[in-house]
Structure 1
Amino acid sequence: MRKLIFFITIVSALVLIFSKIEIIHQNIYVNNVSEKISMIKEKIKLIFFFQVKEIKLKNVKNLDNEQIYKNLSFKVGEEYLFINLKKNLKNLLNINELESAKIVKKKNGIIEVLISEKEPFLFWLKKDKKIVIDKNGEVLNFKNANFTNLKLLSGENANKNINSFYKIIQKYPELENKIVKFDFIENYRWNIILNDKVKIMLPRRNFEKSLEILVKILKRDELNNKGYEYFDMRINNKILFK
């Protein structure tokens, strides 16, 4: 930091001397000190690229670019050297949809903003609206998003409870791939809807054992072309078909 201050001081002094010579040579007399300072700053900018030439956004997928720019305190044409990266990074991370971010100054006056967005996980159906959430149940407001392959989720507080439930579902990939919707029923248990529209009604407790039984049934293709509407597995050791 001291070297930088020393360097700027030396450069400023040299520019001041040269500007003084230039002013005298052109028979221009500047009385106002602020005008002299302004001239020095402009010369430094021109010589050492102390201006933001370009702001490059990288890895933007679903966020709106303008939303990112609004959270940056610098713009193209502003002083490059004195940008507070720490403050700007903090402002950037106020965007809920960001997982992480990094701001890098390049030597040629270009500033790169590298971001990592939170991953869309499910469509949470709430009040006739499809709301995108991540795995932690946080709502993601992606303005430019167009998701067609997300599974559905419904139920009050379903977004707060899906994470732990889904971790168990992931133990059974063949079942996970068939699920199109998760229903959180009355804040205490789950139903799952398969891609053939069969509803699986799971018990409140020990539902992992029910999932194991269900996977065995799926492997034997016992659901195919049978026209079942649901499997009621809410009572332990019993399965009701309809």
Structure 2
Amino acid sequence: MLSSITRSQRSFLRKCALVIITALFLTLILYSSLDKIINRFNYYFTCCNDCLSSLLLSSGFSIDEVVVSGNKFTNKKDILSLTDRTQPIMYISLSKLAGNIQSVSRWIKYVRVHRILPNTLHINIDEHKPFALWKDNNKTSVIDFEGKVIVDDYPVDDLVVITGQNSLSNLEFVRDVLESKTQLSDHISSFAYIGNRRWNIILDNDSTVKLPEDNPSSAWDYLNHLHNTTDFTFSDWSIIDMRIADKIFVKR
């Protein structure tokens, strides 16, 4: 059968074999030198990057000032510690820096970072706003307007205290009372959700206002009316019981 192969066919087969052998040889050489090629490329890339970095820094594109705003509960030092001032301002990944800062504190809701060329970074912190302190067993947590826990065991002044099982699921009344900004609401010390159905309000003079299960807002509004139009003195009573409609019982 081999004798039937023509001279031109033998020549073609020899050429194909030569190409295959050459390709295998070059592949072996390239494979054995790949690490050297990669290392050499990385070396030159690093050199070029260092030269460009030095040029930018010498041209004034350094990070000379970092302005932080909006942080009331987040430590400024923790924010500044995440900023690498050794590199040019153009090299900073704003999204990565914002993500790193956001992970610093549970108070942080959102972070915005932008450059003010040639040499200033501005970091704006949008924090969760504390609404009240929620006490559950031996744990005290700061909650926001929606009743979501921001942080645990963090001292914040001038916040009302909320207690009671399922109290965070029934915050609408609490929000309405505190947003009313009446003289009486300014004297509220805490809210207690009683029996999973109604609210008590404790004033800063330790008087307890027991509100009805149905329509507690009307009862509270009437108490505000008494406070504004009569000489009814809350400090004279330890308990003001309004649980029965259209009646008020008091106890010294």
Q: How high is the TM-score relative to the length of structure 2? A: 0.69
* Contact 1:183-1:190 within 8 A present in 2 as well: yes
List alignment gaps of at least 5 residues for structure 2: 1-39
- Per the alignment, in what secondary structure is the counterpart of residue 196 of structure 1? coil
Matching of residue 63 in structure 1 with residue 74 in structure 2:
yes
Structure with greater proportional helix content: 2
- Per the alignment, in what secondary structure is the counterpart of residue 108 of structure 1? coil
CA distance in 2: counterparts of 1:142 and 1:107, whole angstroms: 39
**Post-superposition CA distance 1:90-121 (Å, at most 9, x none):** 55556542233210123234322110212222
* Contact 1:62-1:142 within 8 A present in 2 as well: no
- Per the alignment, in what secondary structure is the counterpart of residue 81 of structure 1? helix
CA distance in 1: counterparts of 2:235 and 2:114, whole angstroms: 58
Q: CA RMSD in A?
A: 3.0
> Residues 1-242 of structure 1 correspond to what in structure 2 (within 5 A)?
32-49=40-57, 52=63, 55-65=66-76, 68=79, 75-78=84-87, 80-90=89-99, 92-93=101-102, 96-141=106-151, 146-162=155-171, 164-169=172-177, 170-171=179-180, 173-219=182-228, 220-226=230-236, 228-242=237-251
User: Which 4+ residue blocks in structure 1 deviate beyond 6 angstroms?
Assistant: none
AA partner of residue 124 (structure 2):
L
CA distance in 2: counterparts of 1:174 and 1:103, whole angstroms: 41
* Contact 1:217-1:223 within 8 A present in 2 as well: no
1:34 positional shift = 3.9
CA distance in 2: counterparts of 1:116 and 1:198, whole angstroms: 37
Aligned residue number for residue 9 of structure 2: none
Q: 1:40 to 1:130 in 2, by over 3 A?
A: same
- Per the alignment, in what secondary structure is the counterpart of residue 112 of structure 2? strand
* Contact 2:110-2:125 within 8 A present in 1 as well: yes
AA partner of residue 233 (structure 1):
M
List alignment gaps of at least 5 residues for structure 1: 1-31
